[in-house]
Amino acid sequence: MRVNDLSPVIGSKKRKKRIGRGPGSGHGGTSCKGHKGQKARSGASIRPGFEGGQMPLHRRSPKRGFNNIFKKEYEVINVKDLERFKTMSSIDIDALKNSGLIKCEKKLIKLLGDGDIAFPIRIKVHGATKTARDKVEAAGGSIEII
């Protein structure tokens, strides 16, 4: 076997489709685009979901519910999550972010009453439930609403 005897496997090399090069090429005339119509024109592109001027599916399907644009979204923390902090430490938004309890500093923070705490702690949050407030104050701590 020599280098000049080598050839690619039959079927592995395919010729490029040369469109618009006359009738002898087999792809002349309309250049594989059919006759007229929107997609036959130059620069034709149809956005996804376009149905030819018919009312699109996403507009003709019924809508339900209500989106309140003034809704307040809270990141929640439970009383049991505060066990990782030291006694009488002052906890604010930065401390909660650094400890990994909250992900987004821009959202409001609310303390919920799940779990117990055994030592006094000062915490600054945007909201707290009555049970959370009772548990923190029973341990000797305080909650400051920002």
Structure tokens at 126: 């945007």
**For residue 39, what pLDDT is reported?**
87
Q: Return the ∠ at Cα 137 (arms to 122 and 106), rounded to 5°.
A: 45
Please write the tens of the pLDDT for every residue from 14-69. 888 998 899 888 898 888 898 998 888 888 888 898 998 999 999 999 988 998 99
User: What are 107-137's pLDDT values in tens digits?
Assistant: 899 999 888 888 888 888 999 999 989 988 8
Domains of the chain, first to last: 74-145 (3.100.10.10)
Asked if 109 and 125 touch (Cβ cutoff 8 Å), the reply is yes
